[in-house]
């Protein structure tokens, strides 16, 4: 019961500390979403614009489960089970949407998944008040610990820890998957579907598997998010979020896992920092949304494969170091 031990810590973060913990938590969530989308858009060569739908499904799945079972089991158990439940629901919906849609290619797949994301949002918004809360959303009971003025700091620190642990595990898992036989088959399908088919790979199965894994992971991100926020509303999971996730994947480089985490940090940091500025800060704060879109366009024009491309950060650091030492050596001689 790590949670019980933390309860007595009573961490007082102070205004800045709270802000930082909130920021880091959001970074972790967007990193999870970016990593899972990377599997579809970066490695599997598909093009999904409906990832926010799975995020929403995960969040609502966890919220629903927690409401049903809070109090009947120890809190941390409800938390873990709700996460598993959310992943299960997201996996099943990933399969249901993946089977018919993954026959489509490129733009058509993008549009079909975009339509799917919108359907999810509308369905939640129109749902019965007693089931999924309708437009009001659901309040998620606090099961890990009671959150109040004293324990707020503990709660944030704990959630940030949990979230980052999941990010690391997720990156490790995806990396191993890609290096496995199935992962290599997926990369082959992404390169050339017909050729891969001729080699005896079942392209549809390979694609659906990647899609379902990615949806499951997005569902997990949704579950953690719901427990942290304490409530879920349908409008949180709009198309704008999808663009943000996509921007993280592109910024970090499609097919780069560490790049994804760094991109999530950069993007969310700037966003939260600007939100924190007082309204008098003027131009940069007001025009942030504009700059955001502008960065996306510029990036696509000048570096369509992301800042680092498909390389990991360590590769970049190594090549920079090599370049640097070579430069230094050149000066010496």
Residues 184-243 that bind other proteins (CB under 8 A): 194, 229-231, 233, 235-236, 239-240, 243
Q: Determine if 331 is a binding residue for other proteins (CB under 8 A).
A: no
Size of the site for other proteins (CB under 8 A): 79
Q: Which residues contact 233 (CB under 8 A, 6 or more apart)?
A: 133, 135, 136, 137
Closest distance to other proteins from the beta carbon of 309 (Å): 13
Residues 11-70 that bind other proteins (CB under 8 A): 15-16, 18-20, 22, 41, 47
Our finding on whether 96 is near other proteins (CB under 8 A) is no
Residue with smaller CB distance to other proteins, 1 or 290: 290
Is 139 a binder of other proteins (CB under 8 A)? yes
Among 77, 131, 136, 281, binds other proteins (CB under 8 A): 136
Is residue 294 a contact point for other proteins (CB under 8 A)? yes
Q: Smaller CB distance to other proteins: residue 85 or 244?
A: 244
Cβ–Cβ under 8 Å, residues 86 and 220: yes
DSSP 177-188: HHHSHHHHHHHH
Strand partners, 231: 139
Joined together, the tokens standing for residue 106 give: 């490129």
Helices within the chain (DSSP H only) = 2-7, 14-37, 51-69, 75-101, 106-126, 152-179, 181-191, 193-198, 203-229, 239-252, 257-276, 283-286, 288-302, 313-332
**In the complex with other proteins, which residue's Cβ is closer, 60 or 116?**
116
Q: What are phi and psi of 226, to 5 degrees?
A: -60, -40
Q: Which is nearer to other proteins, 84 or 104 (CB)?
A: 104
Contact positions with other proteins (CB under 8 A) in 232-291: 233, 235-236, 239-240, 243, 246, 250, 258, 261-262, 265, 269, 273, 275-276, 278-279, 286-287, 289-290
Calpha distance 280→232 (Å, rounded): 31
């Amino acid at each position: 019961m790590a949670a019980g031990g933390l309860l007595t810590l009573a961490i007082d973060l102070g205004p800045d500390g709270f802000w930082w913990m909130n920021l880091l938590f959001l970074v972790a969530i967007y990193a999870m979403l970016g990593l899972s989308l990377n599997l579809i858009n970066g490695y599997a060569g598909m093009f999904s614009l409906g990832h926010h739908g799975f995020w929403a499904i995960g969040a609502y799945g966890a919220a629903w489960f927690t409401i049903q079972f809070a109090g009947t089991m120890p809190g941390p158990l409800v938390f873990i089970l709700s996460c598993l439940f959310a992943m299960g629901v997201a996996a099943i919906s990933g399969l249901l949407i993946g089977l018919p849609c993954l026959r489509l290619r490129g733009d058509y797949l993008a549009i079909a998944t975009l339509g799917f994301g919108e359907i999810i949002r509308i369905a939640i918004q129109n749902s019965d008040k007693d089931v999924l809360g309708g437009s009001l959303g659901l309040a998620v009971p606090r099961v890990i610990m009671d959150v109040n003025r004293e324990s707020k700091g503990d709660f944030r620190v704990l959630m940030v820890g949990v979230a980052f642990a999941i990010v690391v595990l997720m990156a490790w898992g995806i990396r191993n998957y890609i290096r496995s036989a199935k992962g290599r088959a997926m990369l082959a399908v992404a390169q050339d579907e017909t050729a891969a088919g001729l080699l005896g790979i079942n392209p549809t199965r390979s694609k659906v598997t990647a899609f379902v894994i990615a949806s499951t992971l997005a569902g997990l991100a949704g579950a953690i998010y719901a427990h942290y926020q304490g409530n879920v509303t349908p409008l949180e999971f709009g198309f704008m979020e999808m663009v943000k996730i996509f921007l993280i994947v592109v910024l970090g480089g499609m097919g780069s896992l560490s790049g994804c985490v760094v991109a999530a940090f950069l993007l969310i940091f700037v966003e939260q920092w600007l939100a924190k500025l007082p309204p008098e800060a003027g131009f940069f704060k007001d025009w942030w949304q504009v700059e955001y879109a502008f960065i996306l366009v510029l990036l696509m024009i000048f570096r369509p494969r992301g800042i680092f491309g498909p390389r990991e950060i360590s590769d970049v650091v190594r090549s920079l170091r090599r370049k640097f030492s070579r430069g230094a050596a050149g000066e010496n001689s």
